[in-house]
């Protein structure tokens, strides 16, 4: 059975990686969908988010990472997947995920949503928190996969943020 795991991944965090790892053991194939144009403002371009997510999930042989545009249910159909995987963190995620799951089912009753509970260590981790902490110069090395550190630092420096501890041991190449 093939499932999709759609998200913005701006950037991918260890919480996302954890959900992808676990979904990859449940489903035969997992197509991770990087949504290219959400209404919220983004730090990285679609291409950058796709590239970084791809590198971060390269250890999973049954996982493919694709960029998508438009409706998530359409993407699921295109990928011939009947399941959308989502992660559930604190209680606050529930209402939004519930709304999203029902909306997607109204749009296409042939596509259902499966939510995996966040692992305890990542239940308060989000891309927004990572960006806030990184912008203020905090250490985020235990929040994101290692390949996120340099691109994040480069982007934050360009915006006038302080890389601080982010790349203590990593050289900035750009």
Q: Is 89 a residue of the active site?
A: yes
Considering only 4, 16, 130, 153, the residue that binds ligand ADP (CB under 6 A) is 16
76: Cβ contacts below 8 Å, ≥ 6 apart: 4, 82, 83, 84, 108, 111
Q: Is 127 a residue of the active site?
A: yes
Question: Among 16, 49, 54, 155, which one carries the catalytic annotation?
Answer: 16
Q: Which is nearer to ligand ADP, 7 or 149 (CB)?
A: 7
Distance of alpha carbon 103 from alpha carbon 140, whole angstroms: 34
What secondary structure letter does DSSP report for 138? -
Does the protein bind ligand ADP through residue 87 (CB under 6 A)? yes
Handedness of CA 59, 142, 152, 8 (dihedral sign): positive
Q: Which of residues 37-56 bind ligand ADP (CB under 6 A)?
A: 38
Does the protein bind ligand ADP through residue 75 (CB under 6 A)? no
Distance of alpha carbon 34 from alpha carbon 31, whole angstroms: 10
- Report in angstroms how near the CB of residue 96 gets to ligand ADP at its nearest: 8
Draw the binding track, 103-122, toward ligand ADP (x: CB under 6 A; -: no contact). Answer: ---------------x---x
* Number of neighbouring beta carbons within 10 Å of residue 148: 26
């Amino acid at each position: 059975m093939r499932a999709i795991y759609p998200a913005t991944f701006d950037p991918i965090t260890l919480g996302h990686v954890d959900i992808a790892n676990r979904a990859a053991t449940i489903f035969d194939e997992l197509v991770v969908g990087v949504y290219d144009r959400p209404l919220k403002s983004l730090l990285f371009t679609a291409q950058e988010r796709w590239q970084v997510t791809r590198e971060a999930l390269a250890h999973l042989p049954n996982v493919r990472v694709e960029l998508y545009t438009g409706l998530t249910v359409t993407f699921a159909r295109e990928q011939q997947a009947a399941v959308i995987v989502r992660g559930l963190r604190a209680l606050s995620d529930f209402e939004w995920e519930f709304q999203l799951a029902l909306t997607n089912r109204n749009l296409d009753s042939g596509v259902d949503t499966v939510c995996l509970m966040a692992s305890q260590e990542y239940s308060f981790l989000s891309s927004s928190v990572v960006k806030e902490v990184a912008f203020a110069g905090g250490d985020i090395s235990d929040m994101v996969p290692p390949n996120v550190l340099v691109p994040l630092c480069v982007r934050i420096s360009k915006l006038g943020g302080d890389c601080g501890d982010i790349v203590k041991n990593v050289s900035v190449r750009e």
